[in-house]
Amino acid sequence: GHYLICGFGRVGRNVAEELDATHRPYVVIDVDEERLAAARERQPDLLYLTGDASDDDLLLAADINDAAGVFAVTDDDSRNMMIALTAKQINRATRVVARCLEVRNVPKLRKAGADMVISPDFTGGQRIAAAMLRPGVLSFMDDLVRSETAHRLEEIPVPEGFAPQSVGSLDLPGHDVVLLGIRDHRHFHFNPSPEVMIAGGQVLVVMCAPEARKTVERKILG
Amino acid sequence: GHYLICGFGRVGRNVAEELDATHRPYVVIDVDEERLAAARERQPDLLYLTGDASDDDLLLAADINDAAGVFAVTDDDSRNMMIALTAKQINRATRVVARCLEVRNVPKLRKAGADMVISPDFTGGQRIAAAMLRPGVLSFMDDLVRSETAHRLEEIPVPEGFAPQSVGSLDLPGHDVVLLGIRDHRHFHFNPSPEVMIAGGQVLVVMCAPEARKTVERKILG
Ligand SMILES: [Ca+2]
Ligand SMILES: [Ca+2]
């Protein structure tokens, strides 16, 4: 499945770069034809449609029925709300992530159908404050998201059919892998002791080198 | 020391909320008198000055010589650059954190004297992509910055006079504390084994409950 990026300002372009980095295909929708033409000059194979992404016809033209996900990232919260609503009406299965400018609009965007709502200016303010007050923690977290780093945060889903096993008996390579916690629907079990049982449907949150992830997966998949 | 928030748009206001949450005093500077008047209506004890924060006189009026830090967070990269430059010229010791709109301006802002540069739209794009592609990791990281959470990321500086001691002999309470790494100037030693020596001037990066931080500090401070 491909992705739809609705809104191609600074935020939308940064989303596109993240998708490019992991070779995921996408179609861009924006009302501003000039902006799109300029973007295609920099990136000749860019797929785009000009118009309002909250319009069914445009979403259908971008093949939303076959899309893995929709990014509602224009610089207007009401527009993003309309895009989320329309996208979910056409294809309930598609994942919608919405950008939110004013934090007070987060609940409305969720209600409109967005699976996740991100507020760059809100998180940005938090990060700017953290850069002043807790600088080391911030750079550590940046290392965690960056994909080319030596150690990164990974989540490893435990398949439904997994025969329950204790953390200790999994025998994770302690030098390369730190098991930070086990996520279970909405609960997060931080720093589980060796006796804690792991069951199918849970997610292991680990910090590890990219190669070590494969080792953990082999242990989980048997 | 107090803080100067230069630029009081959405980002600047979110910075102010973070400072309010930890009871840190600040003065706001913005060119837009109407915006400031509206803000004071919501918050009657708000301290502000109207004008261009890259002007020495205004920074001096906000008592920059006694300030712990300056936030250069207007919505204009050149303005933020001028603020960083002027602030450092007056008070080299004050910490400057700058907002950057276009990622390509980050090096220029650093060169102008900003100790740290944060780009909300860039990080926002990364977060929006992560919300689509790696949702669990994102919510885990949000837990880490949130201060009221049960487990959070902390950095604990090792005092210069600390007599070197191995990780193992520190005997950290394994149930409550995960030592993720040791930071040493620019190097980060991920997941150190028990034999690794800890020395003064390093920083321990740990994940722990707030009370457990005190336990670690007691061990470090002797
Ligand atoms: Ca946009
Ligand atoms: Ca601002």
Partner B contacted by A132 (CB < 8 A): yes
Q: Does A168 touch chain B (CB under 8 A)?
A: no
CA of A125 to the centre of ligand 2 (A): 9
- The residue with greater pLDDT, A133 or B35, is B35
Residue of A nearest to B70 (CA): A132
Of residues B120, B144, B175, nearest to A141 (C-beta)? B144
C-alpha span between B185 and B203 (Å, rounded): 9
Q: How far apart are CA A59 and CA B71, in angstroms?
A: 41
Terminal alpha carbon distance of chain B:
29
Identify which ligand lies nearest to the alpha carbon of B9.
2
Please tell me which of the candidates A140, A150, A205 has its beta carbon nearest to residue B140: A205
- Give the Å distance between the CA of B73 and the centre of ligand 2: 5
At how many degrees (to 10) do helices B120-133 and B135-145 cross? 130
State yes or no: pLDDT of A118 exceeds 90.
Answer: yes
Query: Which residues have C-beta within 8 Å of that of residue A141, sequence separation ≥ 6?
Result: B141, B144, B145, B153
Q: In the prediction, which pLDDT does B28 show? A: 98
Cα angle B12, B16, B21; round to 5: 150
Q: State the pLDDT at residue A29.
A: 98
pLDDT (0 to 100) of residue B145: 56
- A113 sits in the region (left: phi over 0; alpha: psi -120 to 50; else beta) called left
Most confident of the following: B126-135, B146-155, B209-218: B126-135
User: Mind listing the pLDDT tens digit for each residue in B68-108?
Assistant: 999 999 999 999 999 999 999 999 999 999 999 998 999 99
B191 touches chain A (CB under 8 A): yes
What single letter denotes the amino acid at residue B149? Answer: T
pLDDT in tens, B23-78: 899 999 999 999 999 999 999 999 999 999 999 999 999 999 999 999 999 999 99
Residues B137/A205, Cβ–Cβ less than 8 Å: yes
Residue of A102, A24, A90 lying closest to A62 (CA atoms): A90
Residue B26 dihedral angles phi and psi, to the nearest 5°: -150, 160
**A–B CB contacts, 8 A cutoff, strictly below:** 199
Helix (H, G, I), strand (E, B) or coil at A176: coil
Going by the DSSP 8-state scheme, the letter that residue A192 receives in this structure is -
Q: What is the pLDDT of residue B62?
A: 97
Nearest to A14 among B97, B121, B132 (CB): B121
Contact B145 A126 (CB under 8 A): yes
Residues 35 through 64 of chain A touching chain B, CB cutoff 8 Å: none
Per the rule left: phi > 0, alpha: psi between -120 and 50, beta: everything else, B167 is: alpha
Interchain CB contact of A183 with B (< 8 Å): yes
What phi, psi does A32 have (nearest 5°)? -95, 100
The answer to whether the CB of B202 falls within 8 A of the CB of B182 is: yes
Mean pLDDT of A180-193: 80
Q: For A7, left (φ over 0), alpha (ψ -120 to 50), or beta?
A: left
CA angle A60-A34-A105, nearest 5°? 60
Closest listed residue to residue B95, CA positions, set B107, B87, B103: B87
Chain A environment of B122 (Cβ under 8 Å): 10, 14
Task: Please identify which residue in the block is written with the tokens 């996408």.
Answer: A26
Q: Quick one: which ligand is closest to B120's CA? A: 2
Of A69, A127, A143, the CB nearest to B132: A69
A136: nearest Cα among B36, B169, B155, B146 = B155
* Confidence label for A216 from pLDDT (cuts 50, 70 and 90): confident
Q: Give Cβ neighbours of residue B91 (< 8 Å, ≥ 6 apart).
A: B64, B65, B67
- With an 8 Å Cβ cutoff, are B102 and A175 in contact? no
pTM of the complete model: 0.75
| pLDDT for the residue B151 | 67
Residue B214: partners with Cβ closer than 8 Å, 6 or more residues away: none
Chain B: nearest CA to A118, how far in angstroms? Answer: 6
Please give the pLDDT value at position B146. 54
For residue A19, the CA-to-ligand 1 centroid distance in Å is 15
**Length of chain A measured in residues:** 222
Q: What radius of gyration, in Å, describes the C-alpha atoms of chain B?
A: 20
A180 forms beta bridges with none
Question: Which residues of chain A lie closer than 8 angstroms to B12, CB-CB?
Answer: 125
Region of B177 on the Ramachandran plot (φ > 0 left; ψ -120 to 50 alpha; else beta): beta
SS3 call for A57: helix
